[in-house]
Amino acid sequence: MRCTSAISSALVLLCAAAIPAGTAWGQDGDPCAPELEAKTLKLIEKGKDKRKYDIDKRIGYLEQALEEQEEATEARFALGLLLFNQARKNRGTFSAARTLLLDVHSACPDLDADLPYTLGSIAFAEGDFAASMDWFNRFIQWEQKTGKPLPPRATRRLDDVRARLPEIQFLLEYNAHADSPAPQVLESVATRDQEYLPAVSADGTLLFFTRAGERKAKGDLVSQPFESFSWAKRSGPSTPFNAGEPMEDPFNKTAGYGGASISVDNRSLFLAIKTPEPGNPENIDLYAARYALLDDTGDETVYLWSEPSPLTALNTPDGWESQPAVSPNGEWLYFAAVRPGTTPDAQGQPTIDILVSGQLPDGTWGEAKVLPSPINTASSDKAPYLHPDGSTLYFASNRSPGGGGYDIWMSKKDSAAAPWEPGAWSRPVNLGIPLNTPGDEHGLVTSADGQTAYFSSRRAGTLGLDIMTWQLPQALRARASVVVKGQMKVGEGLNAEDVKLELRYAQSRQAQSISLGDDGAFAAVVDLSVNEDVLIVAKADGAAFNAGIVVDKDEEDPALVEANLTVRSIKGSDAAFEIEDIRYASGSAVIGRSSLLLLDLFAEYLSETGLSVEIGGHTDDVGSDTDNLRLSEARSRAVREYLIMQGVPSTSITAKGYGESRPRADNGTPAGRAKNRRTEFRVTN
């Protein structure tokens, strides 16, 4: 049985099952009450007489009754109850009792209310919590389903069963993924020091954490404790993190960090720093720092972290504010706090709660509000993390029932509700074993695709408190997402403030605006769960068409998308502009499915601008000059015909093939040939 000390009280359900002495077994002809011989009836009577015979003799009489008449359902039912009671008393196996009672239920499901009750108790004892829930629900619904009244002995059990169903539901969830592979230590970061409070950037390239332990400096006689706010890096989500190092100035000037969270664009860092106050030397407050552009020489950009500044609207001198988590859109900041107004415990003392604050138009943060039940309870609830999908919240809680210590829980938000509104959050689900243990687990964050969890734990196989990884089962994952990030450069004659950058979901036609940083950097989250093609498009008055495909729904989901853009002015220019990502079937002029979506945007662009253009087709030098020229002509005509079908006037578009005559890269390399296979447009009016 997979259960813990926290829920062992539920074992009271395994009380003795009484053998009904006066059960009505039906009328003549009822298959549940066959006509029995006198000898069989006598044996059954002895098997039920607990005043005259001990349990072993009664079991023997009932077994003899079944030998006399195998169809004696009354004997089978009574024997199943006796074997259940014997196994319960002796801590033995329930298999024999289960087999007999299931046989009875198969033949006569409405025989007696003790049947679903006892089968529910057996399933609970054997750790089959789904079956236990099913049997106990049948017991509760007995009168409604069968039309038979519950006898007094069953009525007395009804309230107890109802009271225990939430615990059984918890056990069902807690053990649902028990056979999943166990969490593993994040080896690249693990040391003999303690590593905890992980925070992973949405693009998966940065890992922030706290590392603490003892160090003996040269010349010291004894080791000294240390704590450093650290970060580890990697080139992409599929590569390992490096070992990590302390973050440089302006961080780590003092010891005491309480978690961090990084914005989707990796530019804004929210963190908790120990800030002693008079009368409260352990005070921790929330701060924010910005990874700002210091210098851009054209060949190299230099960034530095700004001095962390306190979020004064959220901090209290007599409270504890820590463990921030910024939402993917940057509009909400969740954090853990203990202060006046947080949920009191049974003694009336404030507990740790999860709070949320909304960003105001001037960039400051509004009044923090406590998240409603069922997120916050009279227990301690902390370490929030909002997945990039914007609706899946993971957090730590020591609520009951639980697996022991702090467990990781998950809840989903109604997208239409404000985070603090009643009913905004679904009933939290415990992530269960093998992630949760009788000890403490907290600080869970995940990858954008929802598959990989990072959290801190101390358990068998760790060197202390370590950061661990776990592949989340499908049922415990947030909606799959991916980060699209890049750098946008703006050519002469255009202002970056005038450029509108957005993601387009092709099938639903939804548009998602993307904010640009002051350095032209951008990042946005794409919802992969909708299974749509997604394109990125940059638009500005007087700008050339610039768009590309970032997610192709027919291809494998990407772990990260990098989409650098250069927006150029079209005014006064006779240059050719490539329509990127136009693909054809090999050796043909058939335009690929995803490329048609890009041409839809180009048709929209031509309709909005009223431009007349020449569509130029180009190839590499593989094959004969003649064949390449014909292929390029056919492809440019295919593009023109499709644009006309989308409503662009035919007089606005001409088509021309250039074959291999105008290479823009070296045809001697695969990369060069790929660049030469392109479709361009040139303004002709």
Looking up tokens 């009280």 gives 9
Q: How far apart are CA 582 and CA 396, in angstroms?
A: 47
Q: Of 612, 622, 545, which Cα lies nearest the Cα of 581?
A: 545
Tokens of 162: 């109802």
Considering only residues 55 and 16, tell me which one the structure prediction assigns the higher pLDDT: 55
Dump pLDDT digits (tens) for 375-430: 999 999 999 999 999 999 999 999 999 999 999 999 999 888 999 999 999 999 99
pLDDT digits (tens, 9 = 90+) for 566-608: 999 998 777 889 898 888 877 889 998 989 999 999 999 999 9
CA atoms within 13 A on the CB side of 623: 17
| Confidence class for position 4, pLDDT limits 50, 70, 90 | very low
Considering only CA atoms, which of 333, 337, 353 is closest in space to residue 397? Answer: 353
Q: Say how far residue 90 (Cα) sits from the centre of its chain.
A: 44
> How does pLDDT run across 542-577, given as a tens digit for each residue?
999 999 999 999 999 999 999 999 999 998 777 889
Tokens 């998308």 found at: 561
pLDDT score of 16: 56
For helices 55-68 and 73-90, angle between their N-to-C axes, nearest 10 degrees = 150
Residue 196: is its pLDDT beyond 60? yes
Q: Would you state the pLDDT for residue 26?
A: 41
Assigned fold of 198-212+226-440? Tachylectin-2; Chain A (2.115.10)
Does 438 score more than 60 pLDDT?
yes
Q: How confident is the model at residue 344, as a pLDDT?
A: 93
Assign domain 480-573 to its CATH superfamily.
Answer: Carboxypeptidase-like, regulatory domain (2.60.40.1120)
Same fold yes or no, 198-212+226-440 and 576-685: no
Helix, strand, or coil (residue 370):
strand
Q: Does domain 576-685 have CATH number 3.40.50.720?
A: no
Q: E strand or H helix at 155, and its extent? A: helix 152-174
- Residue 411 backbone dihedrals phi, psi, to 5 degrees: -140, 155
pLDDT attached to residue 17: 59
Ranking 147-161, 289-303, 607-621 by mean pLDDT, the lowest is 289-303
Domain boundaries, the chain: 5-174, 198-212+226-440, 480-573, 576-685
What's the pLDDT score for residue 297? 63
DSSP class of 528: G
Mapped to the 3 state alphabet, what secondary structure does 534-572 carry?
EEEEEECCCECCEEEEEECCCCCCCCCEECCEEECECCC
Q: Does 295 score more than 90 pLDDT?
A: no
Q: Does domain 5-174 have CATH number 1.25.40.10?
A: yes
Q: Which tokens in the block code for residue 394?
A: 């993971």
Q: What is the distance of C-alpha 356 from the center of its chain?
A: 19
On the question of a cis peptide bond just before residue 34, with omega within 30 degrees of 0, the verdict is no
